[in-house]
Amino acid sequence: MRGHQGTRVTQPLLFLVEYALAARWRALGVNRVALLGHSLGELTAASVAGVFSFEDGLRLAAERGRLMGQTPPGVMLAVTLAPESLAPYLGPELWLAAENGPRLSVVSGLPAAVQVLEQRLAKDRVSFIRLTSRNAFHSPLMADAAKAFREKVAAVPRSEPAIPWLSNVSGTWIDRAEAQNPMYWANQILSRVRFGRCLAALGDRPHLLPRGGTGRGADRDGSTPGGKKRWRGRRSARKIARRAMTWYSSKRLRDCGGQESIWPGRNFIRTKKHDACRCQPIR
């Protein structure tokens, strides 16, 4: 799905998948102590945390997709550069949309400006790939959508979050008042996604981290990598994703030794000494 129709439909669908997976983890007895979502995923996290009801969260996801799909045409480009290394390439019509990892950033911009950027990156032998989105998410081109979305959020009931989550806007833990502020959710559409900072902050908490998503490497708001250029940084991207999105080691897991069940009905044993991340259920 591409363009207006794609993001209008994809965002509520992603919300449903993410919310359902969160409910599944809860049904399995996994105790959620913190949440993290990427772009639209932060809205899902807010609903899981109780700021919005499921019904209102789904409505907001649909409105978000519709409004963002109505913004001027734009292009998004994933680039294998750190934000500070990417900065010299940016200009008046190019914006840093996401900091996804140590050497993985996303640029949003107007089509002509992005085309020039692609030529410069190719000349400098920097890997990049266009995303299938036809709108420049997390950029000033989202201004009208952000303003309208603020009104949508203001129109629904909001509660204090029962579970903390990491803010895409700041890269730190969300403030309780901020989580309920319609202006925050408007800014979240405009601001860059500081996902790398969020992962670093989440890594400070020694807990297991189950991933909830489509499992297809979806980009923000459901768009997936497209185009014919070869992604030369694929191995590094996989390494980052594997470390960040599968399972974090924890003292509780290291000490389980088959004695403590961290999953109702299942005991875990280590398959390799001193390897906290390679565990299998006792059958």
pLDDT digits (tens, 9 = 90+) for 188-242: 999 999 999 998 888 776 555 555 555 444 444 444 344 444 444 444 444 544 4
Instruction: Tell me the CATH class for 3-71+137-226.
Output: alpha beta
**pLDDT tens figures, 135-172:** 999 999 999 999 999 999 999 999 999 999 999 999 99
- What's at 33, amino acid-wise? V
- For helices 54-69 and 3-27, angle between their N-to-C axes, nearest 10 degrees: 160
Return d(Cα 154, Cα 207) in angstroms, integer.
34
* Predicted model pTM: 0.75
Residue spans per domain, the chain: 3-71+137-226, 251-283
- The neighbouring-strand residues paired with 75 are 109
Token digits of residue 14? 């992603």
